Structure 1
Amino acid sequence: MKYGRSLESGSASSQKRKLKTKPLLLLIGILFAFNVFWFVGWLLPDKKPKQTGEEVASVAGEPITREQWMTAMEKEVGREVLLDLVNGKVMEAAAKQYAIDVSDKEINLEVALIRSVDGRSYTGLDMEKMRQKIRSNLILEKVLSKDIVVEEKAIGKHYEENATLYNISTAYRTAMIVVPTKEEAKQTVDELAKGSSFDVLAKERSTDFASASLGGDIGYINTSTDAIDKKIVEAVVDMENDSTSGVVALSDGTYAVLHVSEVLEGQSFTFDDVKDHIRRELALEQLPQTVNPEAFWDEFDAKWFYGK
């Protein structure tokens, strides 16, 4: 009897365990099926049409995608931007190879001389990018002129004959928005006062197309600048660093709004300050032809997307 009851109770316990495992087996089965469906779905090609890119604009309901926009920009300016990057790297490699050093003092001198002689040389570039390009150019000049001998007498004579170049007036990094009417100029002033971007407004409405594409930038100007309307020169000399003018009437009957992003105070350079600069200039004049950074590409194994 006892033995028989033991068998019966064992059988009952076994059945209970079987009953308890059914939900677990069912859950495992469901998870397995889900994984199989997921795996099959992953293997199958996507039947939905792929996105062609984020829409950045549209015309008559037709979208212009970010991909189209970026492709157009690459075709327009991509080559030039990449060329600058490659040439910058090449010149840094040349500086290391030939033990060329360029100091901040030398770059500061070049910035001062550039804004004195040709303030529009680096329009469209902020100060950091401008200094980078000047550094690359100085490396190039030093590499090319390192073995050329220039007499001290010639350097002194050049300094005396060009002394005015080394007495530099205060210069103003200027941007402008030119519009046909006074009313439009007033509206522009109001929008700028409310926080609108000078760069954006210049590109949208300035009728001076050369500067408009650069956000209105016309480079450094001073009291001796003769390539700019004198009305602009007269206006900026009373402006402070990072300031915007009111309406400025121009000589041709149009109107401008000006922004001065930087004021560089005038300074004078002694012979000792500029003798190395003059030595390089006179040395480079002895070269039979102009040499650019691309001449060093083979030496430093430079390659790029556009081929040769």
Structure 2
Amino acid sequence: MKYNRKPESGTMGSQKRKLKTKPLLLLIGILLAFNIFWFIGWLIPDKPKQTDEEVASVAGKPITREQWMTAMEKEVGRETLLDLVNEKVMAVAAEQYGIDVSDKEVDLEMALIRSVDGRSHSGQDEEKMRQKIRSNLILEKVLTKDVVVKDGDIKKAYDENVALYNIQTAYRTAIIVVPTKDEAKQTIEELSKGSSFDVLAKERSTDLASASLGGDIGYINDSTDSIDKAIVEAASGTKENSTSDLIALSDGTYAVIHVSEVVKGQSFKFKEVKDHIQREIALGQISQTVSPEAFWKEFDAKWFYGK
């Protein structure tokens, strides 16, 4: 039969070479099979977490993942989604109208906000704050792109408000307020041993507004009048990423502060703020307030909560 034929002498070298390739072919086959199984596994989605999974319990009564997620959605879901949609709408508007917002413009707005109302940053993530400012700048530029403002009016507004553009040094500060000096000393000792400022603020600070934010009170400077002056003075004498000694407050309580960031003061010249002032004047000439939602229909925005 054909498969019993002896190979001719001229084919012996070729046959031997073929025999030597078998281990390589076998290895390739194994790797191919492994890749196929891996690809199939990758296509199969992970098993979803069960909605009745217990995430906490009180007196033996469970709180399920579904209850937790539903409560979170009711608490912050609508506002969070609204911010995301508006950011996307403004990004599309920027493309549509050929509008650009530079990092330098965002930096200016951040500096002006810190100067006027730095405490509004409390509990705010820096990057999210910058994104909100960027979206707001796009909105302002869209609304004022056809409004004409005379250069003389812009210069006059600058000269009359030049103090607003001399920005003081600001300190991103967190505080822990306690009733007694001994508690303040104990707090400082625990911090020196590595305890988390954020956690201690939530656990023991009597300043409830900041305690829920890990003690964060945003940016303060020498002109901040909504907080005890002793805290402002202590912040100005505390290095960046450092914790203060105990601070005696005017109401008889004590505080410890942590300064996470020091933003050096600066003065802005007219040419640096001219566009900002022009927009402010132009916005004042618009008879009604316009929000990003006004552009939803134009850019076909839809969301979970309906129209």
Q: Name the SS of the counterpart of 2:234 in structure 1.
A: helix
Q: Which residue of 2 aligns with 1:182?
A: 181
Q: 1:121/1:93 Cα in 2 relative to 1: closer, same or farther (>3 Å)?
A: same
Work out whether residues 122 and 213 of structure 2, in 8 Å CA contact, stay in contact via their aligned partners in 1.
yes
- Structure 1 residue 182, shift from structure 2 partner: 2.3
Q: CA, structure 1 residues 74+193, in 2 after alignment: closer, same or farther (shift >3 Å)?
A: farther
Matches within 5 A, 1:43-192: 53-192=52-191
Partner of 2:288: 289
How far did 1:192 drift?
Answer: 2.5
Structure 1 residue 53: Cα displacement: 4.0
Please state how far the C-alpha of 1:247 moved relative to its aligned partner. Answer: 1.8
After alignment, is 193-202 or 250-259 more displaced? 193-202
Corresponding residue SS for 1:141:
helix
1:247 corresponds in structure 2 to 246
CA RMSD after TM alignment:
1.7
Q: Over residues 146-169 of structure 1, what are the superposed CA-to-partner deviations in whole Å (9 max), with x where a residue is unaligned? A: 111111111001101111111111
Give the whole-Å Cα distance in 1 for the aligned partners of 2:156 and 2:174. Answer: 37
Provide structure 2 residue ranges, at least 5 long, that are not aligned to the other structure: 1-48
Paired amino acid for 1:189: I
What displacement does 1:213 show? 2.4
Is the CA contact 2:121–2:219 (under 8 Å) kept in the aligned structure 1?
no
Q: SS where residue 121 of structure 2 aligns?
A: coil
Alignment correspondent of 1:280: 279
Which is worse superposed, 105-114 or 197-206? 197-206
Structure 1 stretch displaced more, 198-207 or 87-96: 198-207
> Per the alignment, in what secondary structure is the counterpart of residue 251 of structure 1?
coil
TM-superposed CA distance for 1:117, in Å, is 1.0
Output one character per residue of 1:200-222: Cα deviation in whole Å (capped at 9) or x when no partner.
33233322222222222211111
Looking at structure 2, the residues matched to 246 and 64 of structure 1 have their Cα atoms a distance apart, in angstroms, of: 42
Normalised by the length of structure 1, the TM-score is: 0.80
Q: State the partner residue of 2:24.
A: none
Question: How far 1:98 moved relative to its partner?
Answer: 0.7
CA contact (8 A) 2:188 2:245 kept: yes
User: For 1:224, what is the secondary structure of its paired residue?
Assistant: coil
Q: In structure 2, what is the equivalent of residue 266 of structure 1?
A: 265
Q: Which residue of structure 2 lines up, in the alignment, with residue 33 of structure 1? A: none
**Amino acid in the other structure paired with 1:65:** T
Length-normalised TM-score, structure 2: 0.80
Say yes or no: does 1:229 pair with 2:228.
yes
Whether contact under 8 Å (2:175, 2:210) holds in the other structure is yes
SS at match of 2:306: coil
Q: Secondary structure at the match of 1:178?
A: strand
Any gaps of 5 or more consecutive residues in structure 1? 1-49
Report whether the alignment pairs 1:196 with 2:195. Answer: yes
Mapped partners of 2:247, 2:64: distance in 1: 40
Shift of 1:113: 0.8
Spell out, residue by residue over 1:219-255, the C-alpha distance to the aligned partner (whole angstroms, 9 max, x if none).
1111111111101101000111111222222111122
Q: Which one-letter code corresponds to 1:160 in the other structure?
A: D
**Greater CA radius of gyration, 1 or 2?**
1
Q: Distance in 2 between matches of 1:267 and 1:166?
A: 8
Identity, % of aligned pairs?
77
SS in 2 for 1:63: strand
Question: Structure 1 residues 193 and 58 mapped into 2: Cα distance closer, same or farther (>3 Å)?
Answer: farther
Q: Distance in 1 between matches of 2:98 and 2:109?
A: 21
* Distance change >3 Å, CA 304–CA 105, structure 1 → 2: same
**1:69 and 1:249, CA in 2 relative to 1: closer, same or farther beyond 3 A?**
farther
